[in-house]
């Protein structure tokens, strides 16, 4: 009976990623909802990015591991990304597709979507990758276009209504888990039991201490297990 109940209340997130214009002016954007007139949004409340491309500046680029970078982008007027949990945004890499066409790929921001004025992506750079090559070449001051699409919005949203959650992630698939961990671990009084199982090719590939560096508690109801070389192969 106890096991049956636990099974019903348990919830598993899985994400494994391996191989492969400024926001409208203050005059046209609602200060409370963030919605700008004339633009369409995929979510309500709206994400900073509408369903059409909007470009933002690169404000910092850091090498994270030997083959991954953390890139920070600025959001004008102290706006917040306001992205639904574990959702991705589409990035445009202009001219990096076959025959010099644009290529668009989804990325899950790793910063808390509520922080004002910026957001971060962690991107693994593939030697023959197209969008990731574009990211690898980014410098502070460059501008990059993003948009939000309905298919990238997950149905499950915080509060998840479960007493325990197991997260299984590989490689940069850690990114959507980090998004879910923000509300779970930062909401006072949230007692959800969380297990994170994370795998990567090797410790060298491990996205450095991402969970620790976010300032989450790592004891009590949260346990993290890192399995190098087990899940990603
Ligand atoms: C919802 C979602 C969220 C994501 N979030 C992130 C994120 O936060 N961070 C992140 O780094 N990535 C993320 N990704 C992956 C990202 O969207 C890109 O796929 C990734 O950056 C590679 O794109 P690329 O254009 O550089 O590589 P591509 O040009 O597509 O190729 C990447 C490499 O894989 C090889 N390859 C391509 N196709 C295949 C195949 N079928 N079989 C074997 N090898 C192949 C290529 O030769 C190349 O070496 C996410 C993906 C999804 C679907």
| Tens-digit pLDDT profile for residues 207-221 | 444 554 444 544 445
Residue range(s) occupied by CATH 2.40.30.10 in the chain: 40-152
pTM for this predicted structure = 0.84
Nearest CA to ligand 1 atom 47: 128
What topology is assigned to 40-152 in CATH? Elongation Factor Tu (Ef-tu); domain 3 (2.40.30)
Q: How far is the CA of 204 from the centre of ligand 1 (A)?
A: 19
* Protein residue whose Cα sits closest to atom 3 of ligand 1: 107
Distance CA 65, CA 124 (A): 9
Task: Report the SS3 class of residue 160.
Answer: coil
As a residue count, the chain comes to 233
* Token output for 127: 């030697």
State if residue 170 touches ligand 1 by the CB under 6 angstroms criterion: no
Evaluate whether 10 touches 164 at the Cβ level (below 8 Å): yes
Which pLDDT tens digit goes with each residue over 150-176? Answer: 988 888 899 999 998 888 888 888 889
Radius of gyration of the chain (CA): 18
Q: Identify the band that residue 12 occupies on the pLDDT scale cut at 50, 70 and 90.
A: low
Q: Which atom of ligand 1 is nearest to the CA of 124?
A: 11
Closest ligand 1 atom to Cα of 106: 17
- Are residues 205 and 63 in contact, defined by beta-carbon separation less than 8 angstroms? no
Interatomic CA distance for residues 123 and 33, integer angstroms: 29
């Amino acid at each position: 009976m106890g096991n049956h109940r636990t099974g019903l209340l348990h919830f598993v997130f899985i994400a494994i990623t391996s191989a492969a214009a400024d926001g409208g002016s203050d005059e046209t954007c609602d200060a409370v909802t963030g919605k700008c007139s004339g633009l369409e949004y995929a979510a309500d409340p709206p994400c900073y990015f509408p369903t059409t491309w909007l470009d933002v500046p690169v404000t910092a680029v850091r090498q994270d591991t030997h083959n991954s970078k953390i890139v920070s982008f600025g959001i004008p007027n102290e706006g917040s990304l306001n992205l639904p949990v574990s959702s991705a945004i589409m990035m445009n890499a202009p001219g990096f597709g076959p025959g010099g066409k644009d290529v668009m790929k989804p990325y899950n921001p790793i910063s808390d979507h509520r922080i004002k004025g910026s957001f971060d992506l962690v991107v693994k750079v593939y030697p023959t990758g197209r969008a990731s090559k574009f990211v690898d070449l980014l410098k502070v001051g460059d501008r990059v276009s993003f948009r939000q699409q309905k298919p990238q919005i997950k149905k499950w949203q915080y509060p998840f209504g479960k007493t325990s959650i197991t997260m299984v992630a590989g490689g940069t698939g850690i990114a959507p888990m980090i998004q879910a961990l923000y509300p779970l671990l930062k909401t006072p009084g949230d007692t959800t039991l969380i297990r994170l199982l994370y795998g990567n090719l090797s410790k060298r590939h491990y996205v450095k201490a991402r969970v620790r560096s976010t300032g989450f508690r790592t004891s009590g109801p949260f346990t993290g297990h890192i399995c190098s070389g087990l899940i990603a192969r």
